[in-house]
């Protein structure tokens, strides 16, 4: 019986099936279920034994990009980061990027504010470590739950990451422990109750990012999780 990855309830129903239409890493069909208790979508079974297959070497967060669209995104990210950094009242700012790859977002942050001190990447991509360190970032290769670096952070980035993990609650609890009292955690994640999600529900909606997105929230279910994590 499928069990919700967010709240462990078995009060769930089949929601949709999807395939990997982005990277065509395999021909399998994956099932998504919706939990009646916490209103999240989750994949079942979790393909945790297929990581080397479903995350191919050309996966976008590994390979980086210099496209025009990427440059536009970098511009928008810079504006967002500057706005967030202004809210941090400290002469020295430490930043952690969870799933940050080679640290290209941290590069943008370092150019956005002269107060940036320590920039730390936590990622599972071994190939990104050398580039990250070369660009002045600390690097931990592994899962955020395993990270035991010294010190805490003023700003933590969790961008398009929480939907990739088996236990979102464990991740948020860990980040709370790593956050300074007045710090900020910036989270971005797909919303399965958005207009595009409803329009393309039965047509391999892009937010499934199948089979790499394991838990997908809507606004209220994520707010409930954040409160539960403290």
Helix (H, G, I), strand (E, B) or coil at 102: coil
Helix (H) or strand (E) holding 95: strand 93-98
Question: Around Cβ 199, how many Cβ atoms within 10 Å?
Answer: 10
Closest C-alpha to 214, from 190, 188, 230: 190
N residues, the chain: 230
Determine the average pLDDT of the residues in 200-214. Answer: 86
Provide the percentage of residues in the chain whose pLDDT is more than 90.
79
Rounded to 5°, angle at Cα 185 from 91 and 96? 65
User: 64-113: per-residue pLDDT in tens?
Assistant: 556 788 788 888 999 999 999 999 999 999 999 999 999 999 999 999 99
DSSP at 217:
B
pLDDT band at 149 (very low <50, low <70, confident <90, very high): confident
pLDDT of residue 65: 59
pLDDT of residue 200: 83
pLDDT band at 144 (very low <50, low <70, confident <90, very high): very high
């Amino acid at each position: 019986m499928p069990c919700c990855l967010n709240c462990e309830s078995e009060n769930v129903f089949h929601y949709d099936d999807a395939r990997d239409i982005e990277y065509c890493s395999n021909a399998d069909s994956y099932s998504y279920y919706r939990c009646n208790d916490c209103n999240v979508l989750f994949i079942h079974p979790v393909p945790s034994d297929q990581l080397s297959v479903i995350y191919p070497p050309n996966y976008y967060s590994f390979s980086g990009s210099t496209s025009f669209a990427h440059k536009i995104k970098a511009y928008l990210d810079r504006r967002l980061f500057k706005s967030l950094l202004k809210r941090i009242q400290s002469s020295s700012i430490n930043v952690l990027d969870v799933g940050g790859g080679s640290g290209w977002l941290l590069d943008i942050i370092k150019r956005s504010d002269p107060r940036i001190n320590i920039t730390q990447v936590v990622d599972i991509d071994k190939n990104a470590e050398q580039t990250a360190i070369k660009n002045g970032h600390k690097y931990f290769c592994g899962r955020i739950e395993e990270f035991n670096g010294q010190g805490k952070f003023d700003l933590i980035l969790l961008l398009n990451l929480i939907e990739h993990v088996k236990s979102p609650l464990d991740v948020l609890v860990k980040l709370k422990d790593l956050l300074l009292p007045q710090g900020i955690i910036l989270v971005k994640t797909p919303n399965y109750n958005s207009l595009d999600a409803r329009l393309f529900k039965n047509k391999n909606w892009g937010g499934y990012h199948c089979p790499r997105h394991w838990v997908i929230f809507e606004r209220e279910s994520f707010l409930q999780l954040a409160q539960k994590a403290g």
